[in-house]
Amino acid sequence: MTDPRTDPGALPCGRDRADLVALAADGHAADPALAEHAAACPHCAPVLAAAEDDWARVRAAAAVPLPTPPGLAERALAAVRAVRGAGGVVEVDQEGGALRVSERVVALAARAAAAEYLADTGGGHLRSVTTGPGTVELGLAVRFGTAIDPLAERLRAHVLASLAPHLGERVPVVDVRVVDVTHPPSG
């Protein structure tokens, strides 16, 4: 025989388990008629009690404050400044004069190249791109177990190769910094 608290589908009384889970999540005031029925129904009462237990654990976990990761605010502000163009410009000499390229454009081009590379190869996710005079820094989150040095070097080379046709000799120094390590996908 199946456990009526976990068996999918309608209960013998005709009520749906999903409605009872929603009641536990939203509170009895959300559907007073269902709450009254569930309190007296031998089929609904154990399902609602189990759902309320589950939601109590979820609420308790949600109430625990999580510390801000070290350096998060600085990385976020640096990334916003880079995209908003708070930096300078890169001048690229070309036939007919110099082309002025804002550091914002350099940051966006570097971000696109890095994201493309990481999507194709896996192993990590781009978390930030910051620019400075003659530099681009890529903040990388790598999966646990990934060989960091080879990934960082290949990413750096890919971004440099992507920027070179547009910036010529003015390609900035590209640095890759690991800012986080993530768990490998489960399964």
Domains and their CATH numbers in the chain: 17-63 (no CATH), 72-182 (3.30.300.20)
pTM of the entire structure? 0.53
Alpha helices of the chain — where are they, by DSSP H? 17-26, 32-40, 44-63, 72-84, 103-121, 148-167
Q: Which two tokens stand for residue 159?
A: 């971004």
Mode of pairing for the β-strands spanning 135-143 and 124-132: antiparallel
User: Using one digit for the tens of pLDDT, what is the confidence trace for 37-51?
Assistant: 999 999 999 999 999
User: Using one digit for the tens of pLDDT, what is the confidence trace for 57-89?
Assistant: 999 988 998 888 888 887 777 667 656 655 566
CA angle at 5 for the pair 19 and 64, rounded to the nearest 5°: 75
Q: How far apart are CA 138 and CA 91, in angstroms?
A: 22
| Strand order, beta sheet including 124-132 | 124-132, 135-143, 173-182
